[in-house]
Structure 1
């Protein structure tokens, strides 16, 4: 299905006069100018949502373009369309598209970055996005998740720093039942402290952190325990706290 979407996106770009060459992309208007995937995304991705197609087909085409270009800007255009005058986009298809790509056995940095800085940092979408990509099925993932579902869980947990603590705490607690997710949970705790919009409850987070099965020499574990024990919630609310922890733990 993904390959079909990619080929549909390739054909759509060809209809716009854009084709892939060995080292990038070229347009019919300037065939001697080599374009990057990011330039193609910025110039053409938004046009997908102006096509005379229903919302499902527009979104399917946009996800195909994301897979083809592997560029963050395509996710921006998807989000703009979702929030625009013709939005919202079909929610089931939108979030299924994110889940599928989070499960892919390849690098999906454009998708994880989008989830983190756009959907999770925006408090008007954070709770819904987190629930859709992991919160709603974490019990099933922990009980009998496939390798692909565990990949998705790890990626979501690692980027979950900006999600409000009351939203993610139940998912964190459930994920703790599976040691295979403990390293990703640790990264989630660390991001919850260090991210500009990171959020955690220090006392509860420390209790959960101490239950993780981690190598004793895990980088930054001692410092994170220290700042949580002192009661700090976020690096940016307590700018000197981490440096104090580094000195105390060295």
Structure 2
């Protein structure tokens, strides 16, 4: 399905006079100027949502463009188009495509970065986004344990630091039932402490941390245990706490 979406995006760009060459991209308007994928994304991704297509097809085309260009800016244009009110994109299609890319056996950095800095850091959207990309499915992930579902779960957990603790705690606890997800839960807990907008409850996070089946010499494990035991919620809310933990654990 992703390959079909990518080819549809390639055809759409060709219709805009943009084609791929060995070293990048060129447009009919300036055939001697080689463009990067990032430049193409900034110049044309937003135009997808001006096409005479229904909203679902616009979303499909935009994600095809993301597959083709692999540029974070495409996700920005998707989010801009989902600005709210009557203009909002169809949620089932939007989040369905996020889930597909998170499950795919290919690099997903643009998608996870989009979740982290846009959808998850905004408390107006983080609960919905987290629930859609993982929270609703965590029981199925644990029950089925397919590689695709596990891949999605790991990616979401590791970038979920900014999501409110009350939103993600149950998902973390459910993920703990599967040792294959323990390292990703640790990544989520670590990000929940270190991210500027990270959120956790120290006592509850410490309980989860104590149950993780990960190597005792895991980098930052001892320091995270130290700061949580001291009741610290966030690196930026407790200046110096992490440095003190490093000194205490060295």
Q: TM-score range by the shorter chain?
A: over 0.9
Q: How does 1:15-94 map to 2 (within 5 A)?
A: 15-83=15-83, 87-94=87-94
Residue 25 of structure 2 aligns to a residue whose secondary structure is strand
- How many residue pairs get matched? 250
Q: How does 1:1-20 map to 2 (within 5 A)?
A: 1-20=1-20
- 1:84 shift after superposition: 5.5
Q: How does 1:209-228 map to 2 (within 5 A)?
A: 209-228=209-228
In structure 1, C-alpha distance between the alignment counterparts of 2:190 and 2:136, rounded to whole Å? 23
The TM-score normalised by the length of structure 2 is 0.99
In structure 1, C-alpha distance between the alignment counterparts of 2:113 and 2:160, rounded to whole Å? 11
Aligned residue in 1 for 2:247: 247
Residue 82 of structure 2 aligns to a residue whose secondary structure is helix
1:189-235 deviations in Å (ceiling 9; x for gaps): 00000000000000110011000001011000000000000000000
Verify: 1:199 aligned to 2:204, yes or no.
Answer: no
1:54-94 deviations in Å (ceiling 9; x for gaps): 11111111010000000000000000001157521000000
1:14-34 deviations in Å (ceiling 9; x for gaps): 111100001110111111111
Q: In structure 1, list runs of 5 or more residues that go unmatched.
A: none
- 1:51 shift after superposition: 0.6
In structure 2, C-alpha distance between the alignment counterparts of 1:197 and 1:211, rounded to whole Å? 25
Aligned residue in 2 for 1:95: 95
- 1:239 shift after superposition: 1.4
- 1:145 shift after superposition: 2.6
The TM-score normalised by the length of structure 1 is 0.99
**Which contiguous aligned blocks of 4+ residues in structure 1 show a shift greater than 6 angstroms?**
none
